[in-house]
A and B are shown apart, each in its own frame.
Chain A
Amino acid sequence: MAFTAQRDSRPTLQRTIRDSARSLARLITTPLSPGDYLDLFLPLRAGAPLRGRVVAVRPETEDATTVTILTGRGWRGHLPGQYLRIGVDVDGVRLWRSYSITSPPTRHDRLISITVRAIPDGVVSNHILRQLTPGTLLMLDQAVGFFTQPDPLPAKVLFLTAGSGLTPVMGMLRSYRFPDAVLVHSAPTPERMMFREELHRMVADGRLTLVERFTDDAGVLPAGEVGTVVPDWRKRQTWACGPAPLLNDAEQHWAEAGIADRLHVERFHVQLVVEGAGGEAHFTRSDVRTHGEAAEPLLDAGEDAGVLMPSGCRMGICFGCVAPLTDGSVRDLRTGDIVTATSDEAVLIQTCVSAAAGSCSIDL
């Protein structure tokens, strides 16, 4: 018979039973899936879209808080220094942001923690600080990122951080016992420096050399002056994380010293939105670029440029023209509101009532 050749994939009795049970379950739950019903009771089960439940929210400083999350069974763990995307419902709207994991990896429980600092006007960070309560379900993605330690650990390391750039480094310091580690950290004031007590305990234990710099008094330490506080900085593998000016400065200084390969940098993605009237619309799948006028629906701009645009009522009621905005900003022509996609999340927009506000990319 034809399938005897594929003996390896021949179904075992067990597998046959399991597969039949699954297709029966799908049949009796159509048009939904069995998972949609299991989600009622077991949102964190294996096989569910990855979610997490907030188990604790603990203030760290006046403007930073640590959230402990029980991850779903599908969680594959993380390496110290990695971050994950978290989907939080703020005012009913699901918003995704990335946060570094500050807890050490554990084998048995599925708890992770993140530490979030409120940024002024930050919708998600302020929500997490002021509204998030234990029991809340969050959407999660698996941990990612290359801001991690090699195996074996380097003999000498330097961490150069500022503000919330400390969070991935905290994950590393809590997870590893470095033979020789120096942390140069800038914070506005001693009170607003997160993890300060814990870092001082590590210093007392002889695990860490800590150089604190309080920027309200002294300004951020220029990378060029790192030699004044860490004389052997050239011999150290360095991990730097913080605001863009600090990292740019560091990259230049390390490159000038000819040791760019010893510097590892983590940038928190900063989205600079240029909100203009009209702008370039890029239809990425069709690879068409066209100019969209301030009051011209992207649907028209796309159609005029020959893009196969889904469309419907052309007046904002039928949602037949919805497409993902993957980058940039558009303006809702009905309200004047600006809708912006970030690198973390595409936003579905109605192209018939949205116009380019600066340059924007549409996944069509």
Chain B
Amino acid sequence: MALPNTLTSSLARLRPARGGHRLSTTRPKAPAPTYASGKPNPLAHLSPDQIERIGAELDEIRQEVLDSRGERDANYIRRLIRVQRSLELVSRTVLLFSKYWPAWVVGTTGLSLSKILENMEIGHNVLHGQWDWMRDPKVHSTSWQWDMASPSAQWQQAHNVQHHTFTNVLGKDEDLGFNILRVDPAQKWEPGNLVQPLTNLLNAVFFQYGVAIHDLGTPALKRGERDRATYLADLRTMLKKAGRHAFRDYVAHPAVSGPSAVPTLLANATANLVRNLWAHTVIFCGHLPSGVETFEVEAIDDETRGEWYVRQMLGSGNISGGPMMHLMTGNLSYQIEHHLFPDLPSNRYAEVAPRVQALMERYGLRYVSGPLYKQAASAWGKVFRYSLPNRGQRRATLRRLARRVLPRVRVPESRMLPA
């Protein structure tokens, strides 16, 4: 038995806005043309009615997928898990003989692919709860552990809660530039930003550790929003997991390989590197390429479900490509669809994508999409561009810096030569 559609189409409207549910009950306000800071509001051309209609249409698409979710989807994820584990098993076995170079090449390729599949299409999506509906305790967001240094629970808190709720809201979404890069003119420039292309390259190379450190939420600790004891406990859990994984790849497997120990170690390091670079590139393309919007904190005051949907659509960008590209990116190539429906099975994003695109075009919203190289270049472009202060503010920024630095280098009077 179902509630009348008007009641259920949006949970938001059922609930008073008190501390409980984050989405407000009110109808959306008429969007202001600009934020208080003067930054243009990307929702400005939409009327409250249009925003609500977008919400209802997306709820409908979501419901259709939920209604048709079944055995076909369950078979998809189970088969994929079998394929990935078999690939890993075979690759690791081949690497036992990696002192022969063909074995090294085959094993390293296989292990890299296996790690990418495990992280992207399986791990990320299982940890989103996309497969919880199967009620299989072995494929469930509460029990899954993945081949990443960041423990599942910590990643879920940082990613599912912070990033997916506050997507691209400046100052709130800590995934925006991973909190270490300046990627928007509205972000304050610091001298450290000068070397951010290098920082980003290092982050890409050591991505799994970058993610793990990011997920600890150190800035929140510094702001006093995070309890020190739980922070330290999380740190210990993370270090223990990262240590176990490093031991597995750089000690245990090489030791088992005997005469092939060194080639195996190099193969594992290569596979981790390939996975790191790939994951970083895909994730980097999700919210940074040009055309993707950022928002100010005002955007989430009393945000309705419709407004939240619009923000997710405008704050994400897709990667175009064939089925293999979608599989290897864990369907994050459908970043827009993923952000609208983070808990729908990833294998269904492809079929809702044309409808989401049509909807966005109907409402004059830009559906950002492009091939991987183009999106990556565009995102990297931002990293370079915003490593310098905004044009027109450079002189002022230098003066601000000079005032901050100069007093420290003033020569003490005692050292001054007598007149």
Say whether B252 contacts A24, CB under 8 Å. yes
Any chain B CB within 8 A of the CB of A319? yes
Say whether B245 contacts A320, CB under 8 Å. no
**Is chain B's interface secondary structure helix, strand, loop, or mixed overall?**
helix
Q: What is the bound-complex CA distance between A159 and B359, given in angstroms?
A: 66
Asked if A317 meets B160 with Cβ closer than 8 Å, knowing A297-B15, A297-B20, A322-B142, the reply is yes
Say whether B89 contacts A295, CB under 8 Å. no
Chain B contacts with A in 53-95, Cβ cutoff 8 A? 63, 66, 69-75, 82, 85-86, 89, 92
Which residues of the partner chain B approach A314 to less than 8 Å between Cβ atoms?
A: 20-22
* A90: min CB distance to chain B, Å: 8
* A348: min CB distance to chain B, Å: 7
Q: What's the tally of chain A residues with a CB closer than 8 Å to chain B?
A: 44
Any chain B CB within 8 A of the CB of A337? yes
Any chain A CB within 8 A of the CB of B145? yes
Q: A73-98 toward B: CB 8 Å interface, digit per residue (1/0)? A: 00000000000000001011111000
Say whether A31 contacts B245, CB under 8 Å. yes
Any chain B CB within 8 A of the CB of A249? no
Question: Which of B8, B21, B70 contacts A336 (CB under 8 A)?
Answer: B8
Look across to chain B and name the residue whose beta carbon is closest to the beta carbon of A311. Answer: B161
Say whether B165 contacts A295, CB under 8 Å. no
Contacts between the two chains (Cβ within 8 Å), count = 141
Any chain A CB within 8 A of the CB of B29? no
Asked if A27 meets B244 with Cβ closer than 8 Å, knowing A297-B21, A313-B164, A320-B161, the reply is yes
Question: Which of A40, A297, A319 contacts B86 (CB under 8 A)?
Answer: A40
Question: Which of A27, A316, A319 contacts B248 (CB under 8 A)?
Answer: A27
Say whether B132 contacts A319, CB under 8 Å. yes
Say whether B160 contacts A312, CB under 8 Å. yes
Which residues of the partner chain A approach B248 to less than 8 Å between Cβ atoms?
A: 27-28, 30
Say whether B161 contacts A275, CB under 8 Å. no
Say whether B253 contacts A28, CB under 8 Å. yes
**Is chain A's interface secondary structure helix, strand, loop, or mixed overall?**
loop
Asked if A337 meets B2 with Cβ closer than 8 Å, knowing A31-B147, A348-B142, the reply is yes
Question: Which of A24, A94, A334 contacts B134 (CB under 8 A)?
Answer: A94
Say whether A27 contacts B128, CB under 8 Å. no
Any chain A CB within 8 A of the CB of B156? yes
Say whether A37 contacts B134, CB under 8 Å. no
Say whether A295 contacts B134, CB under 8 Å. no
Chain A contacts with B in 154-209, Cβ cutoff 8 A? none
Question: Which of B8, B72, B129, B241 contacts A31 (CB under 8 A)?
Answer: B241
* B122: min CB distance to chain A, Å: 11
Question: Which of B2, B66, B92, B161 contacts A313 (CB under 8 A)?
Answer: B161
Q: What is the bound-complex CA distance between A334 and B344, given in angstroms?
A: 14
Any chain A CB within 8 A of the CB of B136? yes
Any chain A CB within 8 A of the CB of B116? no
Say whether B136 contacts A94, CB under 8 Å. yes
Look across to chain B and name the residue whose beta carbon is closest to the beta carbon of A349. Answer: B132
Q: B353-386 toward A: CB 8 Å interface, digit per residue (1/0)? A: 0000000000000000000000000000000000
Where the two chains meet, the residues of A that have a C-beta atom closer than 8 Å to any C-beta of B are 24, 27-28, 30-32, 36-37, 40, 89, 91-95, 275, 295-297, 299-300, 303, 312-320, 322, 331, 333-338, 345, 347-348, 352-353
Q: List 11 A-B contacts (CB under 8 A).
A: A27-B244, A27-B247, A30-B248, A40-B86, A92-B134, A93-B74, A314-B21, A318-B161, A319-B129, A322-B142, A336-B3
| Other A-B pairs, 19, CB within 8 Å; known A91-B71, A319-B129 | A24-B252, A28-B92, A28-B253, A36-B138, A37-B85, A92-B73, A94-B136, A295-B15, A297-B15, A303-B20, A317-B165, A318-B342, A319-B128, A319-B343, A331-B3, A333-B8, A336-B1, A352-B21, A353-B11
Lowest 8 A-B CB distances belong to which pairs? A92-B74, A319-B129, A336-B2, A318-B160, A31-B145, A336-B3, A300-B20, A91-B70
Where the two chains meet, the residues of B that have a C-beta atom closer than 8 Å to any C-beta of A are 1-3, 7-8, 11, 14-15, 20-23, 63, 66, 69-75, 82, 85-86, 89, 92, 128-129, 132-136, 138, 140-142, 145-147, 156-157, 160-161, 164-165, 241, 244-245, 247-248, 252-253, 256, 308, 342-343
